[in-house]
Amino acid sequence: MPTDHATRGVLLGFLAFAAFSFSDASVKAIEGALPAYESAFFGAAFALVAMPFLLKPGDRWTDVFATTSRPLWLLRFIAYPLGVIGSVTAFTLLPMAEAFALIFLQPAFVTLMSLLFLKERIGLRRWAAVLIGFIGVLVVLRPGLRELTVGHLGAVAAGLGGAVVVITFRAAGATEKRISLFGAGILGTILICGLLTLPVFRAPSAVEWVFLAGYGLLAALANVLLMYAAADAPAAWISPTQYSQMLWAILLGYLFFGDRVDLPMLAGSALIIGAGMLTLMRERRRGTTLPPPVASGSTAPTMALTPEELPRQSIL
């Protein structure tokens, strides 16, 4: 792969996760004026603009319902919207950097679920990554020294929901159509969050519509950028760029939301990110699917594949 193409792919990866960060800032700007599930519903509706990129040549729109395993399809259908609701709750109630730090536990959850449900062998280094990640969480949360809120629970739920989606990707295998893999979560968010919204629906204000559109459309843009990044650079180069979201979280939180980040928060975040990076490196060597971009409302997984195997089309 030419070096200039790989460099462009990495830069596109950074741009994609910048877009994800601004997407998350958009939903945070609503400040809880709408229920988390209503924000998730409208965000997913706006993000539908990226759906055509799911289609491969020969695919039909009805293939979103086609699957080799209906239980796994339904699990994605349910787990993804629950994770999105959790992430919206976290960003609404927590400083952006703190929300990201906890959601970045997703690789650790993937490791544990791989052991429990896929019967994968977990080596010493992967266990070390899990332990380091949870130590980082304790440093960030400082239980007993500060109050824990629903926002913290939402962040953990977001990480768990994303991990469940990754496990279903792996369990489904290579025969599952991409539009079915990723479309199930999108449909689940629209249907489940839509049903939750109906009894308490309040039409968003003009300003809230702008933020909702930013939330969904920026996430769609980010996924398209990731598509082009994957076409230019190896996944192992793109995967680490997701951690640039922490820098954006600190900057956006400080500039727009008055967030403050203290030393324990930075130290704990460094441990969690380090654990995630260690997991990414180990998974790359094993040739398995890496955790998808976290805290982004995205179902696009970063694949631990060779450049020739990387998908050439966008996935939402």
* 305 located within any domain: no
Which 3 state secondary structure label does DSSP give 61? helix
Q: pLDDT at position 283, please?
A: 67
236 belongs to a structural domain: yes
What confidence score (pLDDT) does residue 314 get? Answer: 32
| Distance in Å from the first CA to the final CA of the chain | 25
Q: For the residues of 143-210, what is the DSSP string, one character each?
A: BTTB---HHHHHHHHHHHHHHHHHHHHHHH-TTS-HHHHHHHHHHHHHHHHHHHHGGG--PPPHHHHH
pLDDT tens per residue, range 38-70: 999 999 999 898 888 878 888 899 999 999 999
At 149, which amino acid appears? T
CB 115 within 8 A of CB 51: no
Q: What is the pLDDT of residue 3?
A: 65
Q: Would 146 be classed as within a structural domain?
A: yes
Question: Is residue 307 one of the residues assigned to a domain?
Answer: no
User: Which pLDDT score, from 0 to 100, does residue 2 have?
Assistant: 58
Inter-residue contact 302 to 45 (CB < 8 Å): no
Tell me, yes or no, whether 312 lies in a domain: no
- Structural domain of 295: 3-299
In a domain, 311, yes or no: no
pLDDT band at 193 (very low <50, low <70, confident <90, very high): very high
Q: How many other C-beta atoms lie within 10 A of the C-beta of residue 125? A: 13
- CA 20 to CA 215: how far, in whole Å? 8
- Between residues 102 and 233, which one has the greater pLDDT? 102
Instruction: Name the domain count of the chain.
Output: 1
Mean pLDDT of 211-225: 94
Judged against a pLDDT cut of 80, whether residue 305 lies above it is answered with: no
pLDDT, averaged across the chain = 85
Angle at which helix 96-103 crosses helix 263-286, to 10 degrees, equals: 30
Residue 315 belongs to a domain: no
Cβ–Cβ < 8 Å for 25, 256: yes
Establish if 262 belongs to a structural domain.
Answer: yes
Look up residue 233 and give its two tokens: 């650079």
- Would you say residue 103 has pLDDT above 90? yes
Comparing C-alpha atoms, which of 215, 166, 165, 179 is closest to residue 52?
179
